[in-house]
Amino acid sequence: MSWFFLSLACAFFSATLAVIFKLALKKRDELSLVWLMFAFALPILLGAFLLAPIPRLGGLFWKTVAIMLPVEITAFLMYMRALKISPLSLVFPFLGLTPVFAILTSSVLLHEKLSLSGISGVIFVTAGAYLLNIRSMKDGALVPIKNICREKGVLLMIIVAFFYSFTSALGKKAVLLSNPQSFPVVYYGMFFAILTPIVLARAFRYRRSFRGDFEKKDILLILAAGVLFATAVLFHYKAISLAKVSYMISVKRLSLVISVLYGAIIFKEKNIGYRIFGSSIMVLGVLILALAK
């Protein structure tokens, strides 16, 4: 399967995972949900690892992972928080800023230069983010910017987009130093190990139980989240091993429009027409970035 179709599948699974998060977060806090999701996802990642050749992991690999982990953990928890406190169709499209921020991070980490087509892509993505709030333009040209600043979930997601631009570049480096099957189980296994004492300490402190407040549908939601996460991760790293980071992330960000549609159908969110328009402009910019040299 080509990197394009792997990335497209990753986009679908990522958008669907966001819906599962949104539903599951109604009853649980972000930290415990991430921990439980990893508990379900890791056996799948381990299975993929056992089916692939076991690589030699040198010092540069471990150094890269050590840099990525604190950034990834922070970004993931902020991502969960943004989904919990703000409408899905409003906050999720701001992940489309990741390729824009990648222009900065890739120039620093990989010494890449921005082309004219790349600049055009940046303009479209930025304009799409602005147009997410186009309905309020009747009250003044600066109102959408003010609304973005007022919506805490949006600000969190913008920070997440920047963090992901950083970890995407380093993630490709780590995959090339290992393989698409071994890196995820090592990386997210360490992620899980770091979270475990924190989650258990919180559970003990607040006398919370992982059993008493669960219904069957809650378990099914978290199980689904684990399966979707593992699948998206495997597709992500396989695709990124076959293509340039900006290309892969750009196609993956087609999940933006999917998430807006989910927000309309499942959560009955309002102003969807405006957000679809803004999201589409962002996606157009992302696709231009994908073709940029």
Block means of pLDDT (10 residues each) for the chain, 293 residues, are: 85 89 73 87 93 86 93 88 80 78 77 73 77 61 66 88 90 90 92 89 66 66 91 93 80 78 76 75 79 66
Domain edges within the chain: 3-291
pLDDT of residue 81: 86
pLDDT of residue 229: 94
Which pTM value belongs to this model?
Answer: 0.80
- Cβ-based burial of 189 (10 A; exposed 0-12, middle 13-18, buried ≥19): middle
pLDDT of residue 84: 81
CA-atom Rg of the chain in angstroms: 19
pLDDT of residue 185: 93
On whether the CB atoms of residues 132 and 279 are closer than 8 A, the answer is yes
What is the spatial distance between Cα 163 and Cα 157, in angstroms, rounded to a whole number? 10
- Cβ-based burial of 66 (10 A; exposed 0-12, middle 13-18, buried ≥19): exposed
Look up residue 122 and give its two tokens: 């940046």
pLDDT of residue 64: 92
